């Protein structure tokens, strides 16, 4: 009998009981706004910032309303404005160019390699061609480029790097946490990310001026002294007259939900990676299918899985997607002609006026992706891999 998978690719684990209890305490006292505290009370949001700064090894941290807001806030703190060129991966998700567009700036897309990371050679050419001084680097789907090489290139060219770590919270390159190579690291706590508060975001930095600007931008008014992972008050003295309030604060309810999740994040990372390895083992040496190599210096978080059907015609890739769907396996195809759900690609963001990128087109044409929620077991992943292997094999053999 033909195997099918009956699990859900969008069902997350329940919020931990400790987090539920913390959220109920906030609901019972009603002080959801981060600056609404009782005498002697430290806000949940301030505590989360302090704990996340310690987790990443950063001096400063700011909790905000979403990962997308974190990206826009970081760019604004760096002084990006209308008409400015901002470098970014061509392989990313819509909130990245969206953050650039929200400032009236323009995206300068950079080619992607078959390792699904930014192409450093094309990046160097883009820097020279455009004079751009900011790179919004997306660690898309959890793949981290050679950060030593990238930072040497950007530092040498005077380009400041903002890391989009929506898919790499808990990951590392060369022993350094993701988000700590660039001048600012941005994270998401949206439901499908590594901690779940529905929506939410975090920024980290060691730069006092940039973090003071971000805190003021987020809507601190003159209450910045209530932050525990912030620069000292004197850093704000002049800036508070210059930096606009573009409100995007996180509230205490979401912070309360997140703090217990942060404490178990290393354990969750280990669980995701067991699922990822089960997928790798199940798909190894499948004819016509190429796995994405993981560099030795990268400590990844396997919350999603990608593979390439390199050089396959669109009709055959579409057939694989359909055949897997019929057996309960949901694959996202980044090379599809039209955007669908959360999935779109650079040439579909017409507001960004993208130029064609031949190498990126070739990669995305055969790129398939699936989520690995922690509601899956390694046995589930082995079954999913068997289904993909069978359907890829059937279409490959027929072609």
Per-residue confidence (pLDDT) for residue 399, from 0 to 100: 72
Whole-angstrom CA distances from 330 to 9, 61, 323 are 7, 36, 10
Q: Specify the CATH number for 17-263; select among 3.40.640.10, 2.30.31.70, 3.90.1530.10, 3.40.50.2020.
A: 3.40.640.10
Parts of the chain belonging to CATH 3.40.640.10: 17-263
Q: Over its length of 399 residues, how does the chain's per-residue pLDDT go in tens digits?
A: 789 999 999 999 999 999 999 999 999 999 999 999 999 999 999 999 999 999 999 999 999 999 999 999 999 999 999 999 999 999 999 999 999 999 999 999 999 999 999 999 999 999 999 999 999 999 999 999 999 999 999 999 999 999 999 999 999 999 999 999 999 999 999 999 999 999 999 999 999 999 999 999 999 999 999 999 999 999 999 999 999 999 999 999 999 999 999 999 999 999 999 999 999 999 999 999 999 999 999 999 999 999 999 999 999 999 999 999 999 999 999 999 899 888 999 999 999 999 999 999 999 999 999 999 999 999 999 999 999 999 999 999 887
Among residues 174, 176, 177, the alpha carbon closest in space to that of 298 is found at 174
Parts of the chain belonging to CATH 3.90.1150.10: 265-398
Per-residue confidence (pLDDT) for residue 398, from 0 to 100: 86
> Positive or negative CA dihedral for 231, 236, 240, 244?
negative
The arrangement of secondary structure in 265-398, i.e. its CATH architecture, is Alpha-Beta Complex (3.90)
Residues 6+ positions from 30 with CB-CB distance below 8 Å: none
Residues facing residue 249 across a β-bridge? 64
- How many angstroms separate the CA atoms of 374 and 387, rounded? 19
- How many angstroms separate the CA atoms of 159 and 136, rounded? 10
Which tokens go with 71?
């990206």
| Cβ atoms within 10 Å of 112's Cβ, excluding its own | 28
Per-residue confidence (pLDDT) for residue 385, from 0 to 100: 98
> Positive or negative CA dihedral for 143, 346, 362, 373?
positive
C-alpha neighbours within 13 Å on the C-beta side of residue 74: 38
Q: Is 283 helix (H, G, I), strand (E, B) or coil?
A: helix
Among residues 116, 95, 58, the alpha carbon closest in space to that of 335 is found at 116
> Positive or negative CA dihedral for 9, 15, 16, 17?
negative
Among residues 174, 162, 205, the alpha carbon closest in space to that of 68 is found at 162
Q: Are 62 and 202 in contact (CB under 8 A)?
A: yes
Residues facing residue 107 across a β-bridge? 86
Residue with tokens 């931008």: 217
């Amino acid at each position: 009998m033909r195997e099918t998978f009956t699990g859900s690719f969008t069902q997350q684990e329940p919020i931990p009981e400790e987090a539920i209890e913390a959220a109920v305490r906030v609901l019972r006292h009603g002080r959801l706004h981060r600056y609404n505290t009782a005498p002697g009370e430290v806000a949940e949001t301030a505590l989360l910032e302090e704990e996340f700064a310690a987790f990443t090894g950063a001096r400063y941290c700011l909790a905000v309303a979403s990962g997308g807001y974190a990206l826009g806030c970081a760019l604004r703190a760096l002084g990006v404005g209308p008409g400015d060129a901002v470098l970014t991966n061509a392989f990313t998700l819509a909130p990245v160019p969206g953050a650039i567009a929200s400032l009236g700036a323009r995206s300068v897309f950079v080619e992607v390699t078959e390792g699904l990371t930014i192409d450093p050679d094309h990046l160097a050419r883009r820097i020279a061609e455009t004079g751009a001084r900011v790179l919004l680097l997306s660690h898309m789907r959890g793949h981290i480029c050679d950060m030593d090489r990238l930072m040497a290139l950007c530092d040498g060219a005077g380009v400041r790097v903002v890391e989009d770590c929506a898919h790499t919270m808990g990951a590392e390159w060369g022993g350094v946490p993701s988000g700590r190579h660039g001048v600012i690291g941005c994270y998401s706590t949206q439901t499908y990310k590594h901690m779940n508060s529905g929506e939410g975001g975090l920024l980290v930095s060691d730069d006092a001026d940039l973090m003071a600007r971000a805190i003021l931008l987020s809507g601190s008014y003159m209450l910045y002294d209530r932050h525990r992972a912030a620069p000292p008050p004197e850093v704000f003295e002049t800036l508070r007259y210059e930096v606009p309030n573009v409100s995007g604060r996180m509230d205490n309810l979401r912070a309360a939900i997140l703090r217990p999740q942060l404490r178990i994040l290393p354990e969750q990372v280990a669980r995701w990676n067991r699922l990822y390895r089960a997928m790798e083992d199940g798909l190894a040496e499948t004819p016509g299918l190429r796995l994405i190599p993981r560099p030795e210096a990268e400590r990844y978080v396997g919350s999603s899985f990608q593979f390439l059907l390199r050089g396959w015609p669109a009709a055959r890739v579409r057939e694989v997607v359909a055949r897997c769907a019929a057996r309960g396996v949901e694959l996202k195809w980044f090379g599809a002609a039209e955007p669908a759900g959360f999935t779109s690609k650079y040439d579909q963001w017409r507001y960004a006026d993208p130029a064609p990128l031949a190498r990126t087109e070739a990669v995305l044409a055969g790129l398939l992706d699936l989520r690995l929620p922690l509601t899956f077991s390694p046995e589930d992943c082995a079954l999913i891999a068997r289904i993909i292997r069978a359907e890829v094999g059937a279409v490959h053999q027929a072609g």
